[in-house]
Amino acid sequence: MISYPNAKINFGLYITGKRTDGYHNIESVLWPVPWKDILEIIPATDQRFSFEHSGLQVKGDINDNLVVKAWELMKEKYKLQAVHIHLHKNIPMGAGLGGGSSDAAHTIILLNNLFGLKLNVRTMQRHASRLGSDCPFFIDGRAHFVAGTGSLLAQTQVDLNGMHIGIVKPKVNISTAEAYANILSVPAPAGWEKPGHDPADWKKQVRNQFEDYVLEAHPEISQIKEKLYHLGADYASLTGSGSAVYGLFQEAPDMMSWFPAEHCWQGQL
């Protein structure tokens, strides 16, 4: 079985407080983006688990990969037979695009389908929540307003459907821990998640609080955001803690005139 784990963007992101468990409370809108990895899972006829990857380089111990962790979780819970997993990475890592979380969520979905577990969405989201705060979002693939540590609260009233999006991933990576360490928690403006209907006004109403630190610490990222506005973006923002920046456009932008092909992606929401 094959699945196509998608990326996400954060439309607005506010860090509203630090919790006693060391995590932070946030408010954000998560929106699915059709920039996709490729994930294949098949039963292992030799009864030996294996995990392979291709495409963009996946660094680190494979046992730390969220796909493998998702497999281990589901194997123990449902006593599953061994599988072969192949992951082809297209979504850049360390970008704030949620590729790893999406891969993990789609692993749960594929295993549910492959073994006929008949798990409902809520049960799969509960399993996904054990792997990371963004993981449950990718189970149903719909846009959500999230709060707390990333709990899915409601379908969003923001309407980005039909808009064109351009995403640029600079060479620099941003450590999430570094970003949080340099941000002050503040109350989110009341009603920010319900901006006006004119996209051109969003930049006055919606912000990603991580930009306070990231754009100053990494001027090249600030320059990318400025270029996206120069290309005609109605709204441009860092996604997550970065380092990717996206722009929302009424018409398809000419991204390749400004950015190397290997560093950008564009499509329609």
Q: Which residues are catalytic, by number?
A: 8, 134
Cis peptide before 151 (omega within 30 of 0): no
Which two structure tokens, joined as six digits, stand for 107?
A: 């692993």
Phi then psi for 169, rounded to 5 degrees? -110, 105
Question: How far is 42 from 84, CA to CA, in rounded Å?
Answer: 5
Question: How far is 85 from 22, CA to CA, in rounded Å?
Answer: 33
| Pairing state between β 245-249 and 235-238 | antiparallel
Residues 99/37, Cβ–Cβ less than 8 Å: yes
Three-state DSSP at 69 gives helix
What b-and-e string marks burial along 209-243, b requiring 16 or more CB atoms within 10 Å of the CB?
A: bbbbbbbeebeebbebbebbeebebbbbbbbbbbb
Q: Give me Rg for the CA atoms of the chain.
A: 19
